[in-house]
Amino acid sequence: MARRQHLTLTFILVLGVFFTLSYFFSGPTRSVLLPKLQNDVELPLKDAPRSEFAADLNAMPAGLLQGESIAPKLENATLKAELGHATWKFLHTMMARFPDKPTKEDRMALETFMHLFARLYPCGQCAEHFRKLLAQYPPQTSSRNAAAGWLCFAHNIVNERVHKPLFDCENIGDFYDCGCGDKDKKEGVEGVAGIDDVRVIPDGKQIRICWLWLDRPVHRKSNHVLDHVLTSGRGGCAFRAALPELHLSFSPPRATTNDNETLRLTTLNQPIARLLTTLKELSKNRHNGVCYRHGSLQMSPDGIHVDMDRLKKGEVNLGTSIMAVTFKDGVILGADSRTTTGAYIANRVTDKLTRVHDTIWCCRSGSAADTQAVADIVQYQLGLFAMTNGKPPMTQTAASIFQEICYANKDRLSAGLIIAGWDERFGGQVYSIPLGGSLHKQSYAIGGSGSTYIYGYCDANWQEGMEKDDAVNFVKGALREAIKWDGSSGGVIRMVVLTKEGADRHLYLPDTDYAVRHE
C-alpha cells in the first residue's frame, strides 16, 4: 500500500514539472496569434511599411568612381571568354533600351554605372583595360543612338586589341537583338551617331574639316574629342587617329564658318559612307588634295596607295595548316610554309617543322615569336635530360614539357602545337596542344586555320597502320586541300618522317602540283 502511494506521488510530481516547463517555454497561444494573423492578411500592400534607407549621392566619397580594379586577376581563359561574351551582350542590350531623350539623371546614372562597372568587373585585368578605355573615350549619353554608338566603338577597340573581327556598327542592333517586342525594338538602334556635323572651312591652299564627336562640345582641352582633321593641298592623307575605319588627328577649331559651306549629315545610320562621298566630291570640286581612306586603301589626287602600317598590324602570325600522323613504322609531320602579318604575306617559305630532339619534332601554329620561344626552351630542356640520364627522352616527356609551358602561360601565349616523335618504348606517337594548353594523344592531329577545310578529307582517307608511302600521300593530299581553300595557307609543303633510323626531310613545290619530291 505504501508503495502505491509513492508511485502516485511520483506521477503527480512528474506531471507538475511537465506543465510548469510547458508554461515557461511555450509561445503565445493561438488566441493571441489569431488577431495578429488577421491584421497581417487585411493590411493593404500599398500601406506596408517601407525601408527607411535612401541613397545619399552627395554623401558618396569623391573618389568612388576612380581607383584600381576590386576583383583579382582571372586566370581561367574559358570562364573569362564566357564572361566577356555575356557582359557585352548585357551592355549592348542596356544601350538599346536606354531612353532616346534621357534626362540629366538618366545620363548621370549611365555614366556612373559604367565607371563603377569598370571597377567591379570580376576579371581584374579586363577591368583595368576597360578603365583605360573609359579614360580615353568617356561614355556618350546624350541619346540612345549616342550610347549605342559609343559602346560599339569601344567594343571594336577591344576586339582589335584581342585580334577579333570588328562589328559593323550600323547593324549592331540586329546582332544584339534584345527581343523586346515593343516600340523601342521596332525603332531599333540606328548604329553609330558619331558624326552629326561636318564644317568645311577654306584656309588658303588647305581645307579644314571639323568633326563634332557625338554629344561632346568642341574645345581644345578635350582629350577625348576626335573632332578635327587638317588636309593638306599636296596629296598627303592626314587621317591618323581613330574611328573604326576613318582616322583623325587633332587640330584647334576655327571661330568663323560660312553657313553655306556647312554640310549636315542628318542620316546618322550611315555616317561613314556619307562622309566618304562628301570628301570625294570636295576633292573633285576644289582640287586641293583632300583625300579619304577606307580600310587599308587611301584615295588621293595622285592615285591609290596601300597603307602598310594598317595592313601589317599585329605580330607575325603563322596562319597555317599543320598535321602529324602515325604510320606503321613511325610518324610523319607536315606543314605549309606561308607566314602572315595581318593580311600581308611576310614569308612564303617558312619552315614550321622544328626539331626539339633527334626523333622528336613539333609543328607550330599561332604567333611565330611565341612558338619559336617555346620550342627553343623545350629543345634546351630535352638536351639537358639526355645528358643527365644518358638516354634520349621519350616523346611523351617532350609533350609534357610543351604542355606545362603552354598551360602556365595560356593568357600570354598564342601557340597551337603538334608534337610527334618515335622512341624505343612506344614507337610513333602524336600529341596535340591547342590554345589553352591542354594535351591530347591522337592517332593523327591537324591544326591551324587550314585544318577547318580538311576534317572531311582526313576522316574519309585515314587508315590505321598505313605504310610509309601511303602515309606520305595522305599528308600531302590533306595539305594540298588546305592550301587550296585557306587563304592563310600556301607556299611549299614540308614533311619530316621520323622512324628508328632518324629523321628524313621531304619538300614538295607548288609548280609541280606537289607531285615531285625535291631534295
Summarize pLDDT for 494-517 with one digit per residue, the tens.
999 999 999 999 999 999 889 888
CATH topology of domain 79-182: Four Helix Bundle (Hemerythrin (Met), subunit A) (1.20.120)
Asked whether the beta carbons of 518 and 507 are under 8 A apart, the reply is yes
pLDDT score recorded for residue 98:
86
CATH for 322-518, options being 3.60.20.10, 3.20.10.10, 3.90.1150.10, 2.40.110.10: 3.60.20.10
What is residue 316's predicted lDDT score, i.e. its pLDDT? 64
At residue 307, the 3 state secondary structure works out as: coil
- The per-residue pLDDT for 380 is 93
Q: Would you state the pLDDT for residue 372?
A: 92
pLDDT at residue number 180? 54
Q: Which three cell numbers stand for residue 395?
A: 616523346
Counting as low any pLDDT under 50, the low residues of the chain are 27-53, 55, 174, 181-274, 279-280, 282-313
The pLDDT, as a whole number, for residue 247 is 33
Place of cell 615569336: 369
List, by residue number, the catalytic residues: 320
**Fold identical between 79-182 and 322-518?**
no
Query: 188-199 burial, b for 16+ CB within 10 Å, e for fewer?
Result: bbbbbbbbbebb
Alpha carbons 451 and 509: distance in angstroms, whole number = 20
Three cell numbers written together for 12: 503527480
Q: Where are the domains of the chain?
A: 79-182, 195-311, 322-518
Cell of 119: 571597377
